[in-house]
Every structure is written in structure tokens, then in C-alpha cells.
Amino acid sequence: MIRTQEDLENLIEEWGFVPFFENEIEGFSIKEQVDPKLWFTEEDGPWEWKGRIAVKGRCAYGKFFGKKAGFVSKKWFADLLNYRRDGYDFDSLCDEGRVPEKDREIVDLLNEYHVLTTKEIKPMLGYSRNGRKGYDTVITRLQMETYVTVKNFVYAVDRKGEFYGWGIAQYTTPEEVFGRKYIEKAYKRSPEESLQRMIRQIRKIRPGVSEADVWQFLK
């Protein structure tokens, strides 16, 4: 049972893949593993820990699992990245004309500014109530494809100087978090080899799950 931030960090290292919410694999989420007393309470819990863990750069955080959030350890993110990208870095996809313009614009901004929030990205690219649409779809797709991750969360501050609210995600790229050498090494395996490695790891952690369910979880 997860009761502290340290417990969660240890679980990320042990499992490699830790979704925030329930999914195809029973018991394989923070929601199911954390002490219920820490879920949506005034006590320090997973909603507060997520940014503190992500900013350390020892794992990746983002919408990686069925368009929902979760952590992937640095050790295993290389395989997820290789599989999801199908062995292509972003520039190679652009060169082949396989990247939608909206996706390219966001990644170009992150490469230039390194870290940006949604509130900063949207006006730069003309997303607004009366302007361009589809931002949420694009930023989620880029996370699922592992071209964008969450660096940290920033919070509003009240008159007493205390943080409040859900927190605004600061987006960046895995290249910024882990370095380009790490990314280049990820491509040394074939995407299929990375997929099989991840399936074996998850079935090791959850022995009763079928290979089909793991594949569904990872796709």
C-alpha cells in the first residue's frame, strides 16, 4: 500500500510502468495501490507528489496509458519510446511528411523554449475560444507518441502565499529530460523487441494477466 511519495517512487522503479488510474490490468495503478485516505483529501497525496517526482528527471510522467496519465521509469521509458515511435525520431517523421502541422508547431515551440505550459502555448499558436481548436487532442497525442512529457506542475498562489488548485502542467520533450544520447540508445533495439521486453516485465509484475491484455494496455 502506497502511503508516501517515497513509496510511489520505489514502486515506479520496481514496476517500470505505473498508470494513475485503473486500466485493463487489475491492481496495476496508483488509484488501486495508494492508501484511500490519501485520495482526494487535504493530506499530502499522489496529486501533490506527481510534480515533485516528475521534476527530478528519474522517470517520465504524462498521458502514456490509454490517453491517461502515469509514470514510466527511466529504465523502461526507452522501450516505450522506441515502440511508440516505431523507431523514428520527430525530425525523421517531419522529413517524411508524416507529422500534422499542429503537432510540429508544438514540438518546435518546446524545442525552442524547453518548457512551456498550456497557458503559454495556446496564445503563441492561436488556440482560443474563437480561434483554433483541437489543442487537447494534439497535446495528448504527442504524449501518447512519447514526443512530449510533463516536466512539472505550477500552481496558483493565494494572498497568504499558499498554493492552491489542480496545478498547470509544464510540458517538455523526453530529449530535454533525459538527453539526446539516451534517446539515440533507445533506437538500438527493434520496436518489436522493445514491445516484447515490456510485455515480459509487466507479466512479471502481474503474473495472472494475459499477453493480449498487456498489449492492449501498451498500444
Q: pLDDT tens across 57-98, in order?
A: 999 999 999 999 999 999 999 999 999 999 899 999 999 999
Report the relative pairing of strands 59-65 and 17-19 from DSSP bridges: unpaired
Angle subtended at Cα 142 by Cα 49 and Cα 211, rounded to the nearest 5 degrees: 80
Q: Which whole number is the average pLDDT over 189-193? A: 96
Q: Which whole number is the average pLDDT over 167-175? A: 94
Residues 16 and 73 sit within 8 Å (Cβ to Cβ): yes
Find the distance separating the first CA and the last CA of the chain, reported in whole Å.
Answer: 28
pLDDT of 97-142, one tens digit each?
A: 999 999 999 999 999 999 999 999 999 999 998 889 999 999 999 9
Amino acid identity of 186?
A
pLDDT at 163 (0 to 100): 66
pLDDT of 196-207, one tens digit each?
A: 999 999 999 999
Q: Which whole number is the average pLDDT over 209-217? A: 94
Looking at the chain, the whole-number percentage of residues with pLDDT higher than 90 is 85
pLDDT at 56 (0 to 100): 96
pLDDT at 165 (0 to 100): 67
pLDDT at 28 (0 to 100): 96
Q: Which whole number is the average pLDDT over 186-197? A: 96
Cell of residue 140, nine digits:
495528448
pLDDT at 59 (0 to 100): 97
pLDDT at 164 (0 to 100): 65
Residues 34 and 45 sit within 8 Å (Cβ to Cβ): yes
